[in-house]
Every structure is written in C-alpha cells, then in structure tokens.
Structure 1
Amino acid sequence: MNQPVKVGDKITLKIDSVANSADSVGKYENFIVFVPFAVPGDEVEVLITEVRKNFSRGKLTKVIKPSPFRVKPECSVFGECGGCHWQEIDYKKQLEYKKQIVINAFKKFPGVNINDVIPAKDPFFYRNKTQFPADTVQKKLGLFSLRSHFVVDVEFCPLVSKEINAIYAEIRKYLTETGFDIPTLRHVIIRASETTREAVVTFVLKNEDFRRIHLLSEHLIGKFPELAVLYNINREDTNVIMGDKHFTFSKDGRISEKLDKIDYRFSSISFFQTNTSQAKIIFKKIKEWCRGSLEKTALDLFCGVGAISLFIAKEFKEVVGVEEMGQAVLDAVANSDKNSISNCEFLNGKSERILVKLMKQDFKPNTILLDPPRKGCEQELLNLIPKTGADTVIYLSCDVMTLTRDLETLTKHGFEIEEVMPVDMFPMTYHIETLVKLKKQRLGCSDA
C-alpha cells in the first residue's frame, strides 16, 4: 500500500471515531491517521509524526472546525500532559464512546448484550492515588507527557482528589522555593482516603541519602500533622516506579477506607481501587450476583487486600482469597479480623499454583472471582478453572482487550456470558472497567 503521507507533512483531517487508546481516528485518502486529543466530528490540522505500513500518527496543531461534542478542558496543560486523554470531549459522549469500545471488543461473542456504561457521579476529583514524576535537572514536578518520560510541569490536576491536590501543591511549592535541591528524588506518590481523609506520601528515591528529603518531610508534617510519610528506594533505571526497600518517616503508612459496612485498612503499597465511589458500585453488583449462595463457596483470585472477598462474605458459607503480594495478604487477614468476618481465608501465592494445591485438597468452589492486573490471566489458570467444577465466574477487568481474550478461553470450556456491565472508573480517559458474569452451560440444554 502506498502511503499518501510522510513524516513532516501537514494535512487537514476529519476525525471519525475514537480508538481504544489515547487516540482519535481519521482517514486521509483512505489511510488511517491516529491523532491524540482530537474529538470525533472535529476538522483539524495535523502534523504527521510517524508513518507505518497501514497507518500513521499525527500531532494536532489546529482545530479548524470544532466538533459539537468538543468542550473546554478543565486543565490548563491538557494536551501537553498525558495523564488524561478525553477532557475535551463532552462527558455524555465519553460514555457512548466507551460503550462502543466494549461493543467492538465483544464482537467475537455474537448475541451478547452490553449494558450502558455506569457513569461517575463526579467525573473530576475522583482519584484517590496519583504518582507524580520528578525531573530534578529541569526542576519540574508533574506528570509525564503522552507516550514519553518528559515531565510536564503541573500545578493542579482536576482528576485527583482535593486532598491530594493540596498536599501536592505544598510539595511543589517547597521544591520550587528550594531550587529542587533533592537530587535523589524520582517520584512522589500520594494516596488519600475518600472516606476517612487520611493521606500517605511516598517519596521514591535513588538512594538512601535522606538528608534533604528529611527537611521536606518535616515541612510537610508541619503543614499536615496527620500525614504519613514514607520513603522507597529504587536504584534501577527502569519503567518500574517503586523498589523493594521501604522506610518510614512518620506513622505506619496505612490508610483506611469504608465501603458500606466494611472497614478496610491497608498499606501504601497494596492495591486498592483508584476510584472509591465507583468501586462501591462494582462491589454491590458482584454482591447482587452472588445472592442465594449461603451454602456455597467462593474463590477470589487476585484478591488484593480482601476488598471484594470481605464485601461478599455474608453471601457465602466460605470465601478463599488468593493474592501474590505478601503485604496485601497480611492486610486482608487484618481486615477480616477488623470486621469480625470469620468465613474468609487468605492465601499467598500465584493464583494458578495455589489453585492446583487447592484442587489436590478436593476444594470445589461454586463461584470464582477474577480481578487480574491489566495483562489478564495466565492461560494455565484459565484452563484450570473449568476443572474446579465452579458454575459461576465473575471477571472484573481494566482492559477490555485482555478480558475478551480470556473470555474466549472460558467460553470454549463451556462457560456462557450472561451479563456485561461497563463502569466508568476513569473519567476523562479512554480506560473502562468491565464486569462480566459467566455461567457454566448445563449439558443437554439448548444454547437458547
């Protein structure tokens, strides 16, 4: 195919759709062009930055005629910063686009209905955790630009909670006034509870020279007396943000959240859903799907701090949670004790390895819950699940492509998709959380 564009060309483009990425999509002489920060319906001027065999990428340089769905972004550095992708799109349209992304991914499952996306009550100030990279050479603290490690200087982020913004502003002010005189600083991670207002700051450092960071920490505690401050050491020059060594400057670094009647307390390094309000909606739906299981057993794989296990515990005779991260398992056990929940057990290890051991012990779960990381489940695990005899699988995913890949395996093993519920966990971005309920087909029954 002859490409009608080359790097450096400026073209006029009509934007047709959004991709399952930070890009919107248009066609120039029938050749696909991906353009971030554009809106379907826009007519735009685009600078071509990359050309491949079947597509090209471009940078939006001018909006010639705006889409009726284009709105003014809340953030002054939107388009420079890569922290979000869709602030320029009307929120109701974002929900429509996200549903279409899910529909497109589920085309391999004919006849499966996709529910409307459950919107966020507030599409701003929802994040309870954010990582801010530091560039001590250029003297900047902020967020990475899209698809790069260039730090964009950010004063304020409308996606993170107001508590996080207040703490971040104080850190940024101190660094600016002192000339960023902390050469060991790599990242600032801030986590704040939506329900208790507790907060934890973790400074990721290149080494254990704490002299200058101690001064910043003391300053912060003076401004926020209840703040927990931790240090993490990461000497490796990789994309992995945190290292293995942790130090405490003040308090124990744990934080609390409350969802319905369940109190959670967990360490700063343990995973918890980034949008607390939307997590509650998801957990309630899972609980609803599990009703009528009082004499049954659930297996919660990738259980983290026991968030879902404890939320649904009253619906089951027994819940067994499995988590690879040791600290999260300790948090899960502590949370079980904290809430006086006696029918939950938590095991530390890889899901597939623990499941093999449980099956050898004749453990037979009725319901299996999956909430894996973005990469999805290992094939070994997906092949083991049908052998457990479970009749229900509930899969929560933050990546619809790896989700549908994994569902292909489960449906080949006789599971049938009953319901697909997308939830807007990450407004102003293209990311979408998807909850799926599957049931084991009964032998001899029709597929109708």
Structure 2
Amino acid sequence: MIQGRITSLSDDGLGILETGGKLIYVPFSYPGDEVKAGKTKRRFGRLLAKDLELIEPSPLRERARCSHFGRCGGCLWQGLKYREQLRLKGELFERITGVSAPIKGSLKIWDFRNVSNFIVTTDGIGLKEYGNPLSVVDLYECPVFSKKTREYLNALRSFLRESGLRPWDLKKKAGDIHYLQVREGKFTGDVMVNLIAHKKPSKEAAEAFRDYFSFTDSLYWSLKANERDDPRGEPELLDGGPFIRERIGDVTYLIHPNSFFQTNSYALELLLRAVEGFTDGEKVLDLYSGVGTFGVWLARKGFAVEGVELNPFAVKMANRNAELNGVDAVFKVGRAEETSIGDYDTVVVDPPRKGLREAGELLVRSGVERVVYVSCNPRAFKLDYENHLKKAYQVEGTVLVDMFPHTPHVEAVVELVRKG
C-alpha cells in the first residue's frame, strides 16, 4: 500500500508522489491531493499507480461531470477546475520549452469535440481504459463530445443486435465491427456517421444501418483491411451527402471521413486568429497544409496562399475548400522537406507530432523572414527550435490555445522572426 500527497505533475499531466526514494506516477490526481494506491505497475520505464483512492482532495479539484471519469482514458484532467487546467498547461509548456506564453481558454469546455471514435469490442463500446490498451470503458455518455452520445451508441447497439455482426475482440484480433466514428458540425448541425468494419455490408445490413442512423446527413461504411487498432478504412457512402460542413467565423470547411480537422470547433477560431495575428506580408506558404484549415482562413483575410501537403486526398479537399470560399489559395501535393521556398513573406507550419526535422533546415536556408509554427507537441517544437530553427530565427511571440479541455494537452502558435 502506497500513501502520500501529490507534490507536482509530470510533463504528460500525471500526479507525482514521492515515497521511499521512488517517484510514483498517479493518473487522475493533482497537486495537493492525498492519495492511496493499492499497487503499482511498471510502464514505459516508470511506476504507475493502480487502484487509486482519494483520501483528501486538493483545493484545485472540482467534481467531474462524466460518470466514467477515473477509468476512461479520454479526460485525465476532468477533476481539475478549468482555470487551474489553463494555469497548469501554461506552466508545463514553459517547463518543457522555456517559453512563457499567455493561454486562451476554449469558449466551451463541454460538448466541444466535433469528432469521436468509439471502439466497438466484445467488452463494450466506448474508449480505452487509461493505462490498459486491452480494456474498454463501456460508455453511455461523453459530455466532452456531444449531448447526443447516448443516442449514437444506442443506435449502434440496436444495429448490432439486429444484424448479428460481431464486435471486435481485442485479444483475438477478430470480429466484424471495429469502430464507430461520429462527426458533428458544431456550427452547422450536420452529422456524419462512419462505421469501420472488417467486412462489406450485406444488403440487409446496409438497410438496417440506414434505418438506425436515419438522422444523419452523411452515412459511411468503411472497409478496414488490417488489424491495426485505429479508426481507418476505405469509406463507401451509403446515404446522404459525401461531406458535412463546419463553419468557423466566415469560413466554411468541407469534412470527409478521411479528413483531419481540428477537434475543437469552439477554440479553432482562436487558433486561426492567433496564426493570422503573427502572419505578415502578402504571400504565404502553408506547409503541411492538410485540408487547408489555416491556408483558406488566411486567404479569406486577403493573403495570397500556396499550400503543400503530402496527402493527395487532403490536397483535393483543400482546393475544394478554397473554391467553396472563393479565395486566392492553391494547394499542391509535395513533401515539406523538398519544397522550394521562394519569395514568401511568411511560412506557416503545422507539422505532425514528430515535428519538422529535415524541413527545419530547409527553413533555415531559406530567406523567409517569418515562420509561424503551430504545434500540439511542445517537445517536438523544442527539438526543432534547438536543433534547427535557432540558427536563423528567434522567438518573438507565442500564444497558447486550449483546444483540448480536461487533458494536459495544449496547442501553441509560435512567431519566429529571422535574426538580423
């Protein structure tokens, strides 16, 4: 039995308990909590507490809204007061990067996610249990996603009972249905449902699926050809339109099952305005442009935008979004690290979680005066800056935007200006 008071947080948002010369990492705990843990397990080289019991709560705490909090891996910080979440995110970002920055909170902290991927298993339908990849929390609500979560999950459960299709067995890696992906246009009311399955639907199954999800604007069945535990497949439209729409400010975006789109529609405008605020000049290069989230927004504000993205489908979607909004933006397929950077005034980069790496040297060698770096991974930004960008650029401004309430994660927008 381990007991003590949480003294601090790890970089990934776990409470740290110091006892007997050891550091114990305690999920769902916060500085000031006195806790008791029945046992520990070693995971990724550190001791992780299990069977947590809260003896005395920290003054930073508040009652979690979700009944699944404490098991579900979706919301590590839901037991923290929101103002404390923001404060601690700022502190963690500064600890990791050495950069102090103001943070903008999300305009909504409930029902804010515009997408959720529910894993469909023999043990339940929902999200993975924290720290246990082979255990699923059988959900009947998710207040961070949608007030309609129960409706979506009940429709799926009824469909499975009628169709006889088998949920996925995580241990045996076998079954018919693996994920239910639901997307909502928070500002349009559009709903897209995408079932990720390991077999094509029979005529009867397709008809039943349409009946149970008749409330959707776009209904897909995606065929998954591998056993990987991710919500990806080859989508086939069963009913409705091929896209749903989301509207952020005065920009409309088309969303498809294979599109990546920022998950918090209510904080996205704050993020876009932060990028816009650091963008200067007339010509902008949008590297890792995705579906044109930043590029189309900037073009709407009067910048001439060219975008480069490796994924051909994302490029197709970005050009559709540019056309839909009638803006001066052109997107093309290409590798960021092989892009010829010409006479742009600003380069916007939103790299994958691993960061820029080789593309960082490309920017250093370019003559571009200003780089706007968008990142949800402060460690990757620090490595990119220390190993590459620091040679030519200095940090002039940073804004943090809380795209991920109730988690330790935060999105950073960093303004980098070429040294004199």
TM over 0.5: yes
Q: Deviations over 1:104-146 (max 9, x none)?
A: 0123xxxx4x2232111221111000100011x33x2111111
1:433 aligns with 2:417: no
Under a length normalisation based on structure 2, what TM-score does the superposition of the two structures give?
0.92
Q: 2:218 aligns with which of 215, 228, 232?
A: 228
The TM-score, its normalising length taken from structure 1, stands at 0.86
Match of 1:365 in 2: 344
SS of residue in 1 equivalent to 2:134 = coil
- Corresponding residue for residue 256 of structure 1: 245
- In structure 2, the residue matched to 1:35 is 26
Whole-angstrom distance in 2 between the partners of 1:115 and 1:262? 27
Selected match of 2:382 from 404, 407, 415: 404
Cα gap change, 1:175 to 1:72, in 2 (>3 Å): farther
Which of 332, 338, 342 is the equivalent residue of 1:347? 332
Instruction: Please tell me whether residue 141 in structure 1 is matched to residue 125 in structure 2.
Output: yes
Contact 1:133 1:143 (C-alpha < 8 Å) held by counterparts: yes
Q: For 2:4 and 2:204, locate their aligned partners in 1 and report how far apart those are by CA, in whole Å.
A: 51
What amino acid does structure 1 have at the position aligned with 2:199? N
3-state DSSP class of the match of 2:318? helix
AA of the residue aligned to 1:35: V
Which of 199, 213, 217 is the equivalent residue of 1:207? 199
Paired with 2:336 and 2:49, the residues of 1 have a C-alpha distance of 41
Larger radius of gyration: 1
Partner of 2:37: 46
Per the alignment, do residues 162 and 272 of structure 1 end up closer, same or farther by CA in structure 2, a change over 3 Å counting?
Answer: same
Whether 1:154 and 2:139 are equivalent positions in the alignment is yes
Query: How far apart are residue 283 of structure 1 and its match?
Result: 0.6
1:19 CA displacement: 1.6
**Quick one: structure 1 residues 123 and 317, their matched pair in 2 at CA, closer, same or farther if it must change by over 3 Å?**
closer
User: CA separation of 1:260/1:209 partners in 2, compared to 1, >3 Å: closer, same or farther?
Assistant: closer
Equivalent pair of 1:396/1:433 in contact (CA under 8 Å): yes
Partners of 1:157 and 1:68 in 2: CA distance: 25
Change in CA separation of 1:170 and 1:264 when aligned onto 2, cut-off 3 Å: same
Counterpart of 1:20 in structure 2: which amino acid? D
More displaced, 166-175 or 271-280? 166-175
Match of 2:367 in 1: 389
Q: Does 1:63 align with 2:48?
A: no
Contact 1:205/1:231, CA 8 A, preserved across alignment: yes
Q: Identify which range, 126-135 or 206-215, moves more after superposition.
A: 206-215
Question: Could you tell me which of 410, 414, 418 is aligned with 2:396?
Answer: 418
Question: Cα gap change, 1:165/1:261 in structure 2, threshold over 3 Å: closer, same or farther?
Answer: farther
Aligned-pair CA distance for 1:191: 0.5
Shift of 1:159: 0.6
CA shift, 1:315, in A, is: 5.2
Equivalences for residues 301-312 of structure 1 within 5 A: 301-312=287-298
Secondary structure of 1:149's aligned partner: strand
8 Å CA contact 1:200, 1:253 repeated in 2: no
Give the length in aligned residue pairs: 412
Residue ranges of structure 1 left out of the alignment (5+ in a row): 1-9, 443-448
Question: Cα 1:212–1:188, aligned 2, differ >3 Å: closer, same or farther?
Answer: farther
1:17 and 2:8 aligned: yes
* Conserved? CA contact 2:185–2:245, under 8 Å: yes
Tell me, in whole angstroms, the C-alpha distance in 2 between the residues paired with 1:52 and 1:151: 18
114-123 or 394-403: bigger deviation: 114-123
Partners of 1:163 and 1:192 within 8 A in 2:
no
Partner of 1:98: 89
Percent identity reads: 27
Unaligned runs of 5+ in 2: 168-174
Identify the residue that residue 3 of structure 1 maps to in structure 2.
Answer: none
